[in-house]
Amino acid sequence: MVELVAKSAGDGLLPVTIGKLSLTEEVPTALTSLMPFKGGAAALEAALGAGLPGPGESGAAAGGRVLWFGQNQYMLVGGAAEGLGDAAAVTDQSDAWVVVRLEGEGCEDVLARLVPLDLRPQVFAEGRTARTELMHMMSSVTRVGPQAFMIMVFRSMAATLVHDLKTAMQGVTARR
């Protein structure tokens, strides 16, 4: 009888704590990409039991959190993806991304070294999300708390993500 052992995308890389900043891996129960077919948005919303977030927004849905994830694309983080199939292209992305949480005083300064995004709280408040470039990587950045961000890049780049974040965390901490 064979057995397969699961490994998370950030296996062996995290957690990291530098000064007041911490970086931890979050392993969502599922990541599901939802791309409504033409005219399917309303049906998808009904199936989700929630409205689809506008560009740059996120919200609770289907027992998880749904992020706006690009043009005509949403990412259900956690939650139940069953029964959503007809109105949208539903694609399992649970293993495609490494999801990390950057938390602590100065986390905005850390991200300011990596992403060309305006992260000021009045612009990028809790719940705001963006697809952007993190150093040289496609990424998703969401503010999940006053001093906390959820960051996603493709799974294969987990080591680079951690390297880049660590370097920025060290730079920010050394200046305090």
Partner 1 sequence: MRVEGKGLINRGHPVSFTFDGMRYEGYEGDTLASALLANDVRLVARSFKYHRPRGILTAGSEEPNALVTVGRGARQEPNVRATVQEIYHGLEARSQNRWPNLTWDALQVNDLAAPFFGAGFYYKTFMWPKAFWEKVYEPAIRRAAGLGALSGENNADSYEKAYAFCDLLVIGAGPTGLMAALVAGRAGADVILADEDASLGGRLLAETHEVDGMPGAEWVREVLEELGEMPNVRLMPRTTVTGAHDGGTFGALERVAHHTIGRAGTPLECFWRIVAKRSILAAGALERPVAFRNNDRPGIMTAGAVRAYLNRWGVSPGKMVTVFTNNDSGHRTARDLLDAGVHVAALIDSRHDAPDCAGVRVLKGAQVCDSGGRLGLESITIRSVSGEDKLQTDCLAMSGGWNPTVHMTCHMGGRPVWNQDLEAFVPAEGAIPGMRAAGACNGVFSTAGCLRAGAEAAAEALDALGVAGGAVELPAAEDDPYRIAPLWAVPGKGRAWLDFQNDVTVKDVKQAAVENFRSVEHMKRYTTQGMATDQGKNSNVAALAILADVTGRAIPETGTTTFRPPYVPVSIAAMGAGSQGKGFAPQRFTTSHKASVERGAPMIEAGLWYRPSYFPVSGETTWRQSCDREVNMVRESVGVCDVSTLGKIDIQGKDAAEFLDFVYTNTFSTLKVGRCRYGLMLREDGFVMDDGTTARLSETHYVMTTTTAAAGEVMRHLEFVHQGLRPDLDVNFISVTEQWAQFAVAGPKSRELLDELLDEPLSEGDWPFMACGAVEVAGVKGRLFRISFSGEHAYELAVPARYGDSLFRLLMARAEEKGGGPYGMEALNVLRIEKGFITHAEIHGRTTAFDVGLEKMVSGKKDCIGKTMSERPGLFGDDREQLVGLKPVGPVKQLAAGAHLFNEKEEAVRVNDQGYVTSVAFSPTLGHMLGMGFLKNGRARHGETIRMVDHLRGLETYCEVIDPVAFDPEGGRVRG
Partner 2 sequence: MRITCPICGERDRREFYYKSAAVALERPDPEAGDGVWNDYLHLRENPAGVTRELWYHETGCSAWLVVTRNTVSHEILDAVLASEARA
> What's the CA gap between 156 and 103, in Å, rounded?
23
Considering only residues 23, 33, 48, 61, which one is a binding residue for partner 1 as defined by CB under 8 A? Answer: 33
Burial (Cβ within 10 Å: 0-12, 13-18, ≥19) of residue 38? exposed
- Lay out the site mask for partner 1 across 123-142 (x = CB under 8 A, - = otherwise): x-----------xxx-----
Q: Which does 56 bind (CB under 5 to 8 A by kind): partner 2, partner 1, none?
A: partner 2
Q: What are phi and psi of 162, to 5 degrees?
A: -65, -40
| Binding piece for partner 2, criterion CB under 8 A, among 59-67, 92-100, 137-145, 159-167 | 137-145
Of the listed pieces 45-53, 59-67, 140-148, 168-176, which binds partner 1 according to CB under 8 A? Answer: 168-176
- Pairwise CA distance, residues 148 & 13, whole Å: 19
Angle at Cα 123 formed by Cα 79 and Cα 25, nearest 5°? 40
68 burial type by CB count under 10 A (0-12 exposed, 13-18 middle, 19+ buried): buried
74 binds, among partner 2, partner 1, none (CB under 5 to 8 A by kind): none
Instruction: Indicate which single residue of 66, 99, 100, 117 sits in contact with partner 1 (rule: CB under 8 A).
Output: 117
Total residues contacting partner 1 by CB under 8 A comes to 55
Query: Does the footprint of partner 1 cover residue 148 (CB under 8 A)?
Result: no
> Can you give the binding site for partner 2, defined by CB under 8 A?
55-56, 70-71, 73, 116, 130-133, 137-139
